[in-house]
Amino acid sequence: MKELELKYGCNPNQKPSKIFANDGGELPIEVLNGKPGYINFMDAFNGWQLVKELRSATGLPAATSFKHVSPAGAAVGLPLDETLAKIYWVDDLGELSPLACAYARARGADRMSSFGDFIALSDTCDVSTAKIIKREVSDGVIAPGYEPEALEILRAKKGGNYNVIKIDSDYVPQPIEHKDVFGITFEQGRNEFRIDKKLLTNIVTANKDIPELAQIDLIISLITLKYTQSNSVCYAKGGQAIGIGAGQQSRIHCTRLAGSKADNWMLRQSPKVLGLQFVDGIGRADRDNAIDIYIGEEYMDVLGEGAWQKIFKVKPEVFTREEKRAWLDTMEDVALGSDAFFPFGDNIERAKKSGVKYIAEPGGSVRDDQVIETANKYGMAMAFTGMRLFHH
């Protein structure tokens, strides 16, 4: 198949729409179910590149949860502990495969943003992973293959209309890529820059120690940023992104946005949140919304008298600002990547509030000394990669 007609482009009024290989050759995909649209394919192809690179860099199965051409989460297949399995709503599924763990982590990092995601998997989709996908609100999945039973599970989703794409894992795109804007064609070389641990050798802080797991987290953050709309930063911990700030005009706003998401990830693991008692039969999405409100500043303004009874069996105690800060202060050893240099030390100050200890950024700011000094103040280890990772 050399081209595929689509229903419409980004919006229903944008017709005609299709995808085709820019060299005139065969498309490297096969649609096994559903009718993926323009944005679905944008998410699918960007997501596939991300997980393929994560797989290559770490040797572990990888997954990502994409929304509107940026990842909401990305992770590798490390086992889940009891707490993470609970906050990702997979504690009832028994033992999970490494690939299923990767997707549970990618989906669970920011469940609000992952609602209605497009999934990319580095490995053949197994039954364990398909069972997680089956129960989540999602638009589709791309993977290099599917176990027969897994494919049947996915084909039954969304009344038989769930989008399932198989991609040729050996496909290599042309080295030159093109993009049209306002009738003008832009041409550039593909970003084939390889991200691996060698990128973390130029450590510019007094603390030179970046342990193995922290290196993996930094690699995850940098590869995630490579496919995130810029400006962007990514917090990572334990084999997954835990906060991604995408498409902001200033670096500090990226750091704050991603940091707030990392904080929410941590707060969901607090005893107060884990102890919430939900009404029987409430869906996962409604639970996610309720938790997001609960850990907000003024949750009782939203869940007033009577409203909480529709969600909780018992009225939750207020989670005070002081209690939340005390819990967040236990977060440590977080890794932070940035797609461009930090221009001021304020980014480091904000990162410290979310437990960041390891940083990877290109360097090259006229205020690098200030940024390094701030990192040294908190005993952080920071590597200058020398490579910008803008993505538009």
Count CB atoms within 10 A of the CB of residue 47. Answer: 27
Q: Give me 154's structure tokens.
A: 């996915």
d(CA 390, CA 392): 7
DSSP 161: T
Q: Give me 28's structure tokens.
A: 């490297």
- Please write the tens of the pLDDT for every residue from 87-137: 999 999 999 999 999 999 999 999 999 999 999 999 999 999 999 999 999
Mapped to the 3 state alphabet, what secondary structure does 179-209 carry?
A: EEECCEEEEEECCCCCCCHHHHCCECCCCCC
Q: Residue 203, CB half-sphere, CA atoms under 13 Å: how many? A: 21
Displacement of CA 319 from its chain's centroid (Å) = 27
In sequence order, which residues have a C-beta less than 8 Å from that of residue 79 and are 6 or more positions away?
98, 101
Q: Identity (one letter) of the amino acid at 24? A: G
CB-CB contact of 127 with 94 (8 Å): no
For residue 255, what are the β-bridge partners?
A: none
Q: What does pLDDT average to over the chain?
A: 95
Over residues 25-52, mean pLDDT: 97
Over residues 62-71, mean pLDDT: 96
CB-CB contact of 303 with 293 (8 Å): yes
Residue 299, pLDDT > 80, answer no
d(CA 351, CA 334): 9
- Please write the tens of the pLDDT for every residue from 197-253: 999 999 999 999 999 999 999 999 999 999 999 999 999 999 999 999 999 999 999
Q: At what angle do helices 346-353 and 368-377 cross, to 10 degrees?
A: 30
d(CA 234, CA 222): 8
Task: Select from 104, 105, 166 the least CA-distant residue to 131.
Answer: 104
Q: Give me 32's structure tokens.
A: 């096994």
Q: Identity (one letter) of the amino acid at 283? A: G
The active-site residue out of 68, 158, 272, 391 is 68
Count CB atoms within 10 A of the CB of residue 57. Answer: 20
d(CA 313, CA 261): 27
Query: How confident is the model at residue 315, as a pLDDT?
Result: 86
The active-site residue out of 231, 237, 264, 324 is 231
CB-CB contact of 243 with 73 (8 Å): no
Residue 178 has phi, psi (to 5 degrees) of: -130, 155
Question: Would you call 301 exposed, middle or buried from its count of C-beta atoms within 10 A (0-12, 13-18, 19+)?
Answer: exposed
The active-site residue out of 33, 46, 67, 352 is 67
Distances (CA, A) of 15 to 5, 8, 36, 318: 10, 5, 15, 51
CB-CB contact of 391 with 230 (8 Å): yes
Residue 298, pLDDT > 80, answer no
Give the pTM: 0.96
DSSP 126: -
Query: Does the active-site annotation cover 231?
Result: yes
- Please write the tens of the pLDDT for every residue from 182-198: 999 999 999 999 999 99
